[in-house]
Amino acid sequence: MFRLILLLLTLTGAARAETIVLGLSQDSVSITATFDGDDILIFGAVRRDAPAPTEDGDLGVIVTVAGPDQRVSVYRKARRYGIWINTDEVEVDHAPSFYAVATSGPLQEVLRDTSDLREEITIPRAIRSVGATVQDSAAFTQALIRIREADNLYQTQINGVDLEQDTLFMASFALPANLTEGDYVARIFLTRDGRPIDEASTVIPVQKVGLERWLYNLAHSDPLIYGMMSLVLAAAAGWAASAGFAALRR
């Protein structure tokens, strides 16, 4: 029994011989009235208690950044009686509002399908839709991915992780202007032979600040005052434009 426990401890220590030391270029993202996107750098190092193993396959690094989950309804349109109408609908239970994944090498080399299924690393695995009764329901998920990829909300960067001497790594992500407010979770995976051997994660708060935050709070806490203020500003802008054109005619 003692030998068995010692063997298990030894195997566990070997599996944890390589661990992640994580760093971020910024701890949070502030959405202001002039926010047009931002870049975030995720970097780190591989800490080892012993020389890197060579018999377990090449080292791989995968970095993901996920925004808050949303429930999304995806519709299929068809032409009926000369007009386009919604004919089928699939409700996606969990779809990240933003999702980016970067790898240090070709995906099939750094991640096995079984590990992807368990850890939900790639974009299709991060989206969950259960209970759909429409035929070819997977096409709805693929359509959602295409739409959000076009808006730069879903990103896949093969070879997007710069891995130096199997020790230092770095990945950069471009955050678009149309970010959803909330906590964004960054995950880093170390893999050997496509299997994760260590994982680290951190939270990146994304929140409105300044005038953007004040207007957002006003719209939700006092919608009547917000509406009246919007009407006054619109009327003032219209009067100013009219007065400006009248001055130009003189």
Tens digit of pLDDT at every position of the chain (250 positions): 434 333 333 444 444 588 999 999 988 888 887 888 899 999 999 998 877 776 667 899 999 999 999 988 888 877 777 787 777 788 888 899 999 999 999 999 999 999 999 999 999 999 987 766 667 778 888 999 999 999 999 999 999 999 999 899 999 999 999 888 899 999 999 999 999 999 999 999 998 766 665 566 656 676 777 677 777 778 777 777 777 777 777 6
Q: Could you tell me the maximum CA-CA distance found in the chain, to the nearest angstrom? A: 100
Instruction: Report whether 33 contacts 189 (CB < 8 A).
Output: no
Give the residues across from 170 on adjacent strands. Answer: 43, 162
Report the 10 Å Cβ neighbour count for 152.
Answer: 15
Instruction: Report whether 189 contacts 121 (CB < 8 A).
Output: yes
Q: In the chain, count of helices (H) and strands (E)?
A: 7, 12
Q: How many residues does the chain have?
A: 250
Domain 2-208 has CATH 2.60.40.3880: yes
Residue 60 is predicted with a pLDDT of: 94
Q: Give the predicted TM-score (pTM) of the model.
A: 0.77
